[in-house]
Amino acid sequence: MVATAAAELAPWTARRRFWFRTGLGLFLLQVVVSALDASPAARALGDSMQQWARTVGAAISPPLVEAVERIAARGDGHVVGLSLLRDGLLALAVAGIWSAIDRRPQHERGARRLRLVLRYLVGTVMLVYGSLKVVPVQFQVPPAEQILMPLGDHSPMSLLWATIGISPAYTIFGGLGEYVGGMLLLWRRTTTLGALLVTAVMTNVVMLNFCYDVPVKRGAALLLLSAMVLAAHDRRAMWAILWHRQAGSPEPEAPFDGGPLARRLRAVVKSIWVGAGLAAPVAIAIMLGLQPAAGPLHGVHRVEADTAATASASGWQLLWIGTRGGAVVQTADGHCRRYDFTVDVATQTLALRQQNGAPLRFSWAQDAARLRLQDLDLAGRTIELRSMPAAEAFRLLR
């Protein structure tokens, strides 16, 4: 406690005070932006201020604005980049005004509070996103429509999702980086290690979001910035070790300074928080385990003969039946149509239904790797199919 009191009395340099005020202003600005985002008037004001930021930025440094728009040119990347530039300029203005009217020598207690908030905020977000990758939920095997779609018809984001989704091992690896980094942020001793890990992970995430037009560019960029701020707490020690190859002493982390009741409450809340983070992947895995098992017709069925194909392009060339009550039909002209799928094993019938459409009803017979469908509504239509697992039908899924 004596060391904490001494730190609170020690004056900061003018530069440190300015950058703390800038960072706090930027953080509070994000809170305000998030709170007012639902208001059309607030969004209009934000757009006007963003245009103002572009004008100011272009006046100060035209190459900077051009670089932002060029590097983040895909999708809404340049808009997000300019919004971050706007927020940065506003935070600098707030810090300048604050410094002109506030002569306090330091903000030690406020810095500790902000650091605590950033630790738990970034850590919690990393735990959530990491859990959704450790148990592959965010990225899954691409749906049938994406597998059957020509490569050039993919959006950058759908191509990214498919690329990551076909490799559960890589998905889990990426999720572990987020999950472990987030967990390390929940303790003072391991905050710098967790912040460095999250910085590395989020640098890659930010680049993917901007380069492949993933919508959450702004949030990812702010998480990266927050992790860098947390890691910067021990910048002098890291610089001494990595550059000068000398032993560096990390900045002391002040302990929690609340009263006895606050300490007991903190212990309970933190235990629940950490327990929830540890239990999240297990809970997700249990939920996924409750999904329905594959039915008797699950898999890919390639059409070998379809009597309707001789009459029109509506004839089938592939039927893909999933495990969650869905099916996709690829017709002879290459188009894919999604249907709700129901099967009755007792009567050997199945039905395919599109929204607001009449169902397609078939009787079916299965023999080894063959499936035969007889249309119950279109007399004489018979479809002969060869059945196989999706991984066997498509090299991409092997």
Reported pTM: 0.78
Examine the pLDDT at 199 and tell me if it is beyond 90.
Answer: yes
pLDDT tier at 2 (50, 70, 90 boundaries)?
Answer: very low
CA atoms within 13 A on the CB side of 393: 20
- Average pLDDT across the chain, whole number: 82
Which of 27-41, 198-212, 321-335, 345-359 is the most confident on average? 198-212
pLDDT for 74 equals 62
Q: Residue 331 pairs with which residues in a beta bridge?
A: 316
The pLDDT tens digits for 257-272 are: 677 887 788 788 888 8
CB 284 within 8 Å of CB 140? no
DSSP per position, 332-356: TTS-EEEEEEEEETTTTEEEEE-TT
**What would the two tokens of residue 335 be?**
């188009």
Taking the domain 299-397, which CATH number applies? 2.40.128
Tell me the C-alpha to C-alpha distance, in Å, between residue 259 and each of 45, 109, 237, 254, 265.
Answer: 43, 15, 32, 15, 10
Q: Is the pLDDT of residue 288 over 50?
A: yes
The SS3 assignment for 235 reads helix
**Cα Rg of the chain, angstroms:** 28
Going from N- to C-terminal start, the domains of the chain cover: 1-103, 107-291, 299-397
pLDDT at 68: 63
**CA-to-CA distance for 244 and 298, rounded, in angstroms?**
62
